[in-house]
Structure 1
Amino acid sequence: MRFRPVSPDLLITEVTETIITRAGGEWTRVGVDGAPPAEPGAFADRLADELRLRGRPVRRVSTSDFLRPASLRFERGRTDPDARHDDWLDLGGLVREVFDPLGPGGSGRVLPALWNTGTDRATRAEYVDLPRGGVLVLDGELLLGRGLPFDCSVHLWLSPAALRRRTPEADAWSLPAFERYHSGARPLYAADFAVRVDDPAHPAVLDE
Structure 2
Amino acid sequence: MPPTVRPLTPAALAALVVAAAAERLGEARERGVAVRVGVDGALAADTGPLADLVADHALATGVGALRVRARDFLHRRSVRLEHGPADVDAAYERAVDWAALQREVLEPLGDPARLTWLPRLRDPDTDRAAREPVRTAGPGALLVVDGPYLLRWELTGDLDVVVHLQTSDAALRRRVPDGDPAPGAWARYVGETAPAERADLVVRAEHPDRPALVTPG
- Do both share a fold (TM > 0.5)? yes
Deviation at 1:37, TM superposition (A): 6.5
Query: What residue ranges of structure 2 are gaps of 5+ in the alignment?
Result: none
Q: Deviations over 1:70-93 (max 9, x none)?
A: 121112222101000111111111
Deviation at 1:5, TM superposition (A): 1.4
Structure 1 segments of 4 or more deviating over 4 A?
Answer: none
Judge which range, 1-10 or 149-158, deviates more. Answer: 1-10
Question: Does the C-alpha gap of structure 1 residues 206 and 124 become closer, same or farther in structure 2, counting only changes over 3 Å?
Answer: same
Query: What residue ranges of structure 1 are gaps of 5+ in the alignment?
Result: none
SS at match of 1:154: strand
What's the TM-score once normalised by structure 1's chain length? 0.93
Residue of 129, 136, 161 corresponding to 1:129? 136
Equivalent in the alignment of 2:182: 174
Q: Which amino acid aligns with 1:154?
A: V
Question: Does the C-alpha gap of structure 1 residues 81 and 66 become closer, same or farther in structure 2, counting only changes over 3 Å?
Answer: same
Residue of 52, 55, 61 corresponding to 2:59? 52
SS at match of 1:123: coil
Q: Which amino acid aligns with 2:84?
A: G
Equivalent in the alignment of 2:215: 207
Distance 2:100 2:143 in 1: 16
Residue of 182, 200, 212 corresponding to 1:192? 200
Distance 1:31 1:162 in 2: 22
Distance 1:74 1:85 in 2: 12
Equivalent in the alignment of 1:40: 47
CA-atom RMSD in angstroms: 1.6
SS at match of 1:43: helix
Identity over aligned residues, as a percent? 37
Q: Is the 8 A contact 1:37 1:163 kept in 2?
A: no
